[in-house]
Amino acid sequence: MTLATLLSRLDAKAHAAADWGAVAAYIPQLACVNPAQFAISVALADGSLVSAGQAKTRFSIQSVSKVFTLACVLSRIGESIWARVGREPSGDRFDSILLLEQEQGRPRNPFINAGALVTTDELLAGRAPREALSEVLEFLRVASGDDDIHIDSAVAASEQATGYRNIALANYLKSYDNLINEPDLVLGTYFHQCAIEMTTEQLALAGRGIAGLPGAPLLLSARKRRRLAALMMTCGHYDGSGDFAFRTGLPGKSGVGGGILVAVPGVASVAVWSPGLNAWGNSKVGTEAIETLAHKTGWSVFG
Amino acid sequence: MTLATLLSRLDAKAHAAADWGAVAAYIPQLACVNPAQFAISVALADGSLVSAGQAKTRFSIQSVSKVFTLACVLSRIGESIWARVGREPSGDRFDSILLLEQEQGRPRNPFINAGALVTTDELLAGRAPREALSEVLEFLRVASGDDDIHIDSAVAASEQATGYRNIALANYLKSYDNLINEPDLVLGTYFHQCAIEMTTEQLALAGRGIAGLPGAPLLLSARKRRRLAALMMTCGHYDGSGDFAFRTGLPGKSGVGGGILVAVPGVASVAVWSPGLNAWGNSKVGTEAIETLAHKTGWSVFG
Amino acid sequence: MTLATLLSRLDAKAHAAADWGAVAAYIPQLACVNPAQFAISVALADGSLVSAGQAKTRFSIQSVSKVFTLACVLSRIGESIWARVGREPSGDRFDSILLLEQEQGRPRNPFINAGALVTTDELLAGRAPREALSEVLEFLRVASGDDDIHIDSAVAASEQATGYRNIALANYLKSYDNLINEPDLVLGTYFHQCAIEMTTEQLALAGRGIAGLPGAPLLLSARKRRRLAALMMTCGHYDGSGDFAFRTGLPGKSGVGGGILVAVPGVASVAVWSPGLNAWGNSKVGTEAIETLAHKTGWSVFG
Amino acid sequence: MTLATLLSRLDAKAHAAADWGAVAAYIPQLACVNPAQFAISVALADGSLVSAGQAKTRFSIQSVSKVFTLACVLSRIGESIWARVGREPSGDRFDSILLLEQEQGRPRNPFINAGALVTTDELLAGRAPREALSEVLEFLRVASGDDDIHIDSAVAASEQATGYRNIALANYLKSYDNLINEPDLVLGTYFHQCAIEMTTEQLALAGRGIAGLPGAPLLLSARKRRRLAALMMTCGHYDGSGDFAFRTGLPGKSGVGGGILVAVPGVASVAVWSPGLNAWGNSKVGTEAIETLAHKTGWSVFG
């Protein structure tokens, strides 16, 4: 079976799903998205790109953006971020504030909301939000080789209006002096970064560097690329990270918009999208598709 | 530089360490071990075995045994264990009881003490401790191709006499009906399983199957082998698991005796030993050696 | 309305209850007690004793014993106990182990199980369990002026056989060196102390000293009596302590046998019993009776 | 010794203190207050008022205001507040957010910051902040019989500028739908309520009603007064509530401005002030003065 056939079958299987999961209700603009949608794109080491489903439909990448903000910070600023954020899975929900109190304002990792706010704060570092956002967008455009990547400002505004939990997190971080900028500035930048919209085609292409595919634009050293992948493996799916690693054997990062970026080191970069979420806030049908893909192809970092 | 030279240098570097870490104080028999010891063995895909340091010195494998008990359970009994134990990193110390209360007696994963007690309980399943222990020993002997693997009963007795925290865990699990057998029976078996002693040579050979090396005795399906490795990656070093994955890019499982087993899928099975521990209860010098080894060889599951 | 009439009405109201609550299921010997029972006794400052219901029926005082063990420790040994146990409400269940990990083996207060185990350990202090138990029994006999107070050894044995959670607590305390004696010795003593059986008449009389009634045997200084009452007020009903204080305005201590001892300083000592429990493990109908009694009499420490 | 003499000695003893504690550093305007200040005032049942120290110096009552906001809510709106906030001590710091996550947005009690924000939100109930604040000020003026009670707007502004932890709490509550108004509105009102400034004379007089002194303006029923006092006893000093009850036997409510209001039911209303705080955020020298006062006078709700 060719990869194209396999992806088509995954698309068909997705549409046969009895339960697509529930869209994220806490962001009004996302709450009205139809959950019964699916797309998958795979960029291969030979430079080809194979897709199925709505691979040209833009969706809100949300927390998948955390991988790229961290990539920007690691490549431009370096490792100083680790003085402010840990590298351990949290075992808690993506928006949990509990450990932040127990661990005195130091988030467990850069892929939960608290840690991502610190990463965005580090990225800002005295600059205007516009500059920081341009850096992330530029990184994505170069990485994917596609300039047509933008921010959906309606989604950003929607989250800004009701993102009480994130506002709480940012202010809590600030109370522990773990934000340099004022909370509102960091939040504004963060909500816009999360509101970047991409297609699975664009996202799969943007992930080629993290997967270490030959021919990908060189934006990260091998060491940094591996470290990003390691963080995706242990922390990329919040309190469902262990289960995702167990099921797929692959590093991935999910977003509440329903997107997941998965790296198959040296082999492929995979982007999947389906807006309905499972209990951990990760794409339900998307996770299932990655699991089947890994199973059928034998792709796994564990040999 | 050949692998043999590299391993010799790691041995030399270990002995130049200013700080070997502290041996586990809570098990009297381990507390009197000299921390300034080091051994490393690497079993390669071509069937060769390369070592440096005290690779023929036996040490207490302690929690490294959890990988093999789980392997026995998965291969003989199957997946029913997951009804009783999770697959997520805990973010807490190896002997933590806290989450067990919050999650009503269901341990986060089989590699923290609480989860390992459940695994041992599942392995017992109505049999006498002697039979369960024979099964684990036999697995190790076949996997390593070496019959000379035994239990150090002095270490088992030492832990049994003062293992108050483990006694607490087992009784707590029983209070939630998540032990089938009486706590004392499970604890007796568990303390003996942890007291298995091996050399790094034996351990590296025993790990070949998990690393999926050609020629290794076929004790696990590819699917089970990958799942074990995924668990090692996300949960193998307790609340230092994320950091270990970040630093080495490799799945590993540590024990408080100072041993670490690391799988380089398709490439090598590595065993390192140095009894002094870091803050997370993992071998200090052993962890550093694995990190250097990964760096110098480029071994990483992340390509 | 006379007090006798009021108590009779409380008895009648209790028997009209639609829901008596559920008996403690985790101690087999208590699980078979009929929940539809009620007794109340009030010892007054004038030396009189007024009762209603089954005031001559013996019941297992369980955690009400913690008040008297602590009284023994405070009067014979003194304040050194506070180096080992706190004086703050825990906000958790009576048998919680969670805070014990966060606070490194130091129980929040002497009225939760963990704290009571430490108190019993302090009481033992190198003596045989029999001697410590004799001291508590003797205290109760002198305080109540009644020698006919004994231990129900069937209840003690029943709890010993299945008290996994308490076994966990004792071993956990020992792992933090907060038990002097071996866990089994402390547990044996503790289970027997909890298995003391008394009638509400006996318990109300035994409580006269804590309520500071004139004519009560002088076993405690005014300072110690007040401090015991303060602890009953803030910690006497586990995670329902605040609610009990809010509803009744009186210090009290409950037990899972369904008994509650309440002090009305200078005015009365009240004992109530009804075996069915509410969500916090306190007597359901007993709590309601105390609330009505406080309301009708105007008894409240808050004037 | 007369009460006047006793209070003078408490003032002298305070000024002989080697350690006054540290002023609250997180509110800039309070951080510059001289900690070496002391005042105490006692309003008695006979209508007299006895003071020592700087009893005419105004200080920021901060969290002592929570007693009066709750009194306003209970007397005008009633018991509906209990659907939104609990009545149990939290065992955590005054500004803790941890339990709020575990208990899904329902604060443990109205005297920790989270609970007080809910109380202020209930008080607002669609009105402008000015109206709600007028209600609290009017309550205090009537209760104390003194119209000269105002808000220090510099303190309110100071807290508003840096009160990140409270901003976090309010937004977190809103994310659980446990605020009716927008967080900013509630916070503005809350910071102003906390910035009310009073002298110990005024505060002792304002507390007469809660202590149930004859002749006090009738603002609360006996039932409500007792319930307020019970909450002060179990929750009035955050995670030091049990200790305060143990030491003094009296219900009290502290504020980070260094004030404490204590009720001796039927006997006296006591206000003490000294700006330096102990480890729990309660006035260090003030707490010690209350303890000595209780000891010397024999005042205790426990007889």
Alpha helices for chain C (secondary structure H): 3-15, 28-31, 65-76, 98-102, 113-124, 129-144, 153-162, 164-175, 183-194, 200-206, 222-235, 241-248, 284-297
User: What value, to the nearest 5°, has the Cα angle with vertex C233 and ends C229 and C239?
Assistant: 140
Query: Taking a C-beta distance cutoff of 8 angstroms, is the pair D240, C88 a contact?
Result: yes
What are the CA-CA distances from residue B274 to residues A115, B36, B57, B280 (Å)?
34, 7, 11, 15
**Residue A65: its pLDDT value, please?**
98
CB neighbour list of residue D241: distance below 8 Å, 6 or more residues apart? C88, C89, C234, D89, D233, D234, D235
Angle between helices B164-175 and C164-175 (to 10 degrees): 160
Whether the per-residue pLDDT at B278 is higher than 90: the answer is yes
C302 is a domain residue = no
Q: What pLDDT was estimated at residue C17?
A: 85
Q: What is the pLDDT of residue C244?
A: 97
Taking one residue from B and the other from C, the number of pairs with CB-CB distance under 8 angstroms is: 53
Nearest-10 crossing angle of helices D164-175, A164-175: 160
pLDDT digits (tens, 9 = 90+) for B285-301: 999 999 999 999 999 99
* C256, C108: one domain: no
**Sequence-distant (≥ 6) Cβ neighbours of residue C36 within 8 angstroms:** C15, C20, C276
Does A302 reside within a domain?
no
Across the interface, whether the CB atoms of D302 and C229 are under 8 A apart is answered yes
Q: Judge contact between B273 and B255, C-beta under 8 A.
A: no
Same domain, B36 and B156: no
> What are the tens digits of pLDDT across the range C144-172?
999 999 999 999 999 999 899 999 999 99
Looking at the fold, whether D171 and D237 belong to one and the same domain comes out as no
CA distance linking residue B209 with residue B84, whole number of Å: 26
CA distance B243 to A67: 17
pLDDT at D26 > cutoff 90: no
SS3 D269: strand
Q: Are B136 and B69 in contact (CB under 8 A)?
A: yes
* Partner residue opposite B303 with nearest CB, options A91, A109, A212: A212
| Region of poorest pLDDT, from C27-36, D81-90, D132-141 | C27-36
Q: Which two tokens stand for residue A84?
A: 């402010």
- Same domain? For B70 and B181 the reply is yes
C157 and C222 assigned to the same domain: no
pLDDT tens for C236-272 read 999 999 999 999 999 999 999 999 999 999 999 999 9
pLDDT number for residue D24? 86
Q: Is residue B302 part of a domain?
A: no
Q: What is the mean pLDDT of residues D44-55?
A: 98
Residue ranges for chain A with pLDDT beneath 50 = none
Phi-psi region of C259 (alpha: psi -120 to 50; beta: other; left: phi over 0): beta
Find the range with the poorest average confidence among B163-177, C275-289, D16-30. D16-30
- Domain of C271, CATH number, reads 3.40.710.10
Closest in C26, C96, C101 to B96, CB measured? C101
C183 contacts B172? CB cut-off 8 A: no
Q: Within this chain, do residues D19 and D89 fall inside the same structural domain, yes or no? A: no
Amino acid at B286: G
Q: Do D218 and D242 fall into the same domain? A: yes
CA dist A110 and A105 (Å) reads 13
Cα–Cα distance measured from residue A92 to residue A102, given in angstroms and rounded to the nearest whole number: 13
B212 and B140 within one domain = no
Kind plus residue range of the DSSP H or E element containing C52:
strand C49-53
Query: Taking all residues of chain B, what is their mean pLDDT, rounded to a whole number?
Result: 96
Is 90 exceeded by the pLDDT of residue C126? Answer: no
What string of DSSP letters covers B222-255? HHHHHHHHHHHHHHTTGGGHHHHHHHH-S-EEE-
Place of tokens 């609250």: D24
Note the pLDDT of residue B109. 97
Residue D97, phi then psi, degrees to nearest 5: -115, -10
For residues D16 and D68, state if they share a domain. no
- Residues D182, D224: Cα–Cα separation, whole Å: 29
Could you tell me if residue A25 is inside a domain?
yes
Q: What is the pLDDT of residue B24?
A: 86
CB D245 within 8 Å of CB D233: yes
Would residue D303 count as lying in a domain?
A: no
CB atoms inside a 10 Å sphere around CB D202? 25
Flag whether D275 is in a domain.
yes
Provide the chain D residues 214-243 that lie in CB contact (below 8 A) with chain A. Answer: none
Residue C39 in 3-state DSSP?
strand
The partner residue sitting opposite D245, judged by closest CB among C230, C240, C249, is C230
Two structure tokens written together for A191: 């909500």
| Number of Cβ atoms within 10 Å of the Cβ of B79 | 10
Predicted confidence (pLDDT) at residue B29 exceeds the cutoff of 90: no
Q: Which of C154, C171, C194 is the last residue of a domain?
A: C194
Q: In the structure, what pLDDT confidence band is assigned to residue D226 with cuts at 50, 70 and 90?
A: very high
Tokens at C228, concatenated = 């015991």
pLDDT of residue A28: 87
Residues of chain C in contact with residue B169, where contact means CB-CB under 8 angstroms, are 168
What is the CA A227 to chain-centroid distance, rounded?
15
pLDDT higher than 90, residue D126: no
Last residue of a domain, one of C194, C214, C244: C194
Share of chain B above pLDDT 90, in %: 92
Q: Write down which residue in A194, A222, A245 finishes a domain.
A: A194
Query: What does the pLDDT read at residue B286?
Result: 98
Shortest distance between the Cα of C208 and any Cα of chain D, in A, equals 12
Radius of gyration of chain A (CA): 18
Task: Report the residue from A212, A241, A265 with minimal CB separation from B234.
Answer: A241
Rounded CA gap, D30 and D259, in Å?
Answer: 12
| pLDDT given at position A247 | 97
User: Phi-psi bin for D9: left (phi > 0), alpha (psi -120 to 50), beta?
Assistant: alpha
| C211 at D interface, C-beta within 8 A | yes
Predicted confidence band at B231 (pLDDT cuts at 50, 70, 90)? very high
What is the per-residue pLDDT across C165-193, written as a single tens digit (0 to 9) for each?
A: 999 999 999 999 999 999 999 999 999 99
C134 in active site: no
The per-residue pLDDT for A25 is 83
State the virtual CA torsion across B117, B177, C27, C41 in degrees, nearest 10. 110
C26 is catalytic: no
Q: Which of B230, B266, B302 lies nearest to residue A246, judging by beta carbons?
A: B230
Residue D197 amino acid letter: E
Q: Report, as an integer, the average pLDDT of C112-119.
A: 97
CA atoms within a 13 Å half-sphere pointing along the CA-CB vector of D271: 33
- Both B203 and B160 in one domain: the answer is no
> A261: which strand partners?
A253, A271
Catalytic annotation on C238? yes
Contacts of C108 in chain D (CB under 8 A): 91
**Interface contact B302, partner A, CB < 8 A:** yes
Q: Which of A165, A169, A172 sits opposite D165 (nearest CB)?
A: A172
D28 class by beta-carbon count within 10 Å (0-12 exposed, 13-18 middle, 19+ buried): middle
Tell me, yes or no, whether C80 lies in a domain.
Answer: yes
3-state secondary structure chain A: CCHHHHHHHHHHHHHCCCCCCECCCCCHHHHCCCCCCCEEEEEECCCCEEEEECCCCCEECHHHHHHHHHHHHHHHCCHHHHHCCCCCCCCCCCCCCHHHHHCCCCCCCCCCHHHHHHHHHHHHCCCCHHHHHHHHHHHHHHHHCCCCCEECHHHHHHHHHHCHHHHHHHHHHHHCCCCCCCHHHHHHHHHHHHCEEECHHHHHHHCCCCCCCCCCCCCCCHHHHHHHHHHHHHHCCHHHHHHHHHHHCCCEEECCCCEEEEEECCCEEEEEECCCECCCCCEHHHHHHHHHHHHHHCCCCCC
**Cα angle for residues B219, B224, B226 (degrees, 5° grid):** 115
Q: How far is C70 from chain B (nearest CA, A)?
A: 25
Question: Is D67 noted as a catalytic residue in this protein?
Answer: no
- Chain C: list its partners (3+ Cβ pairs within 8 Å): B, D
Contact B80, B102 (CB under 8 A): no
pLDDT at site C211? 98
* End-to-end C-alpha distance for chain C, whole angstroms: 21
Tell me the C-alpha to C-alpha distance, in Å, between residue B174 and each of B117, B127, C9, C98. Answer: 11, 18, 44, 16
A156-175 residues touching D, CB cutoff 8 A? 164-165, 167-169, 171-172, 174-175
CA atoms within 13 A on the CB side of A280: 24
Task: Quickly tell me which residue has 């599942």 as its tokens.
Answer: B122
According to DSSP, the β-strands at C196-198 and B252-254 are unpaired
Q: Which residues share a beta bridge with B254? A: B260
Contacts of C231 in chain D (CB under 8 A): 242, 245-246
Is the Cβ pair B302, A230 closer than 8 Å? yes
- The per-residue pLDDT for B126 is 86
B183 touches chain C (CB under 8 A): yes
Instruction: State residue C214's pLDDT score.
Output: 96
Q: Give the domain range for residue D231.
A: 3-60+199-296
Query: Where residue B17 falls among pLDDT bands split at 50, 70, 90?
Result: confident
Sort out which chain D residues have CB atoms less than 8 A from C263's CB and list them: 302
Q: How far is D290 from chain A (nearest CA, A)?
A: 32
Q: Kindly provide the ipTM of the predicted complex, given to two decimals.
A: 0.96
What pTM, to 2 d.p., does this model score? 0.95
D302 touches chain A (CB under 8 A): no
Compute the average pLDDT of residues D162-170. Answer: 96
SS3 call for D51: strand
C2 Cβ contact partners less than 8 Å away, ≥ 6 residues apart? none
In chain D, what residues touch A103 (CB-CB under 8 Å)?
none
Are residues B79 and B221 in contact, defined by beta-carbon separation less than 8 angstroms? no
Q: Quick one: closest CA in C to B98, which residue?
A: C98
Q: Please indicate, yes or no, whether residues A51 and A145 belong to a single structural domain of this protein.
A: no
Decide if pLDDT at B25 tops 90. Answer: no
Residues C44-93: tens digit of each pLDDT: 999 999 999 999 999 999 999 999 999 999 999 999 999 999 999 998 88
Active site residue D256: yes
Q: Which residues of C touch D234 (CB under 8 A)?
A: 89, 233-234, 241-242, 245-246
Number of domains in chain B: 2
Examine the domain organization and report whether D82 and D177 are in the same domain: yes
CA distance B159 to chain C (A): 12
φ, ψ of residue D3 in degrees (nearest 5): -60, -40
Mean pLDDT of all residues in D66-76: 97
| Cα nearest neighbour of B295 on chain A | A223
Share of chain D above pLDDT 90, in %: 92
CB contact under 8 A, A88 and B88: no
Structure tokens at D156: 């309110």
Please compute the mean of the pLDDT values over residues B151-155 and round it to a whole number.
Answer: 96
Residue C264 lies in a domain: yes
Whether residue D102 lies within 8 A of chain A, CB to CB, comes out as: yes
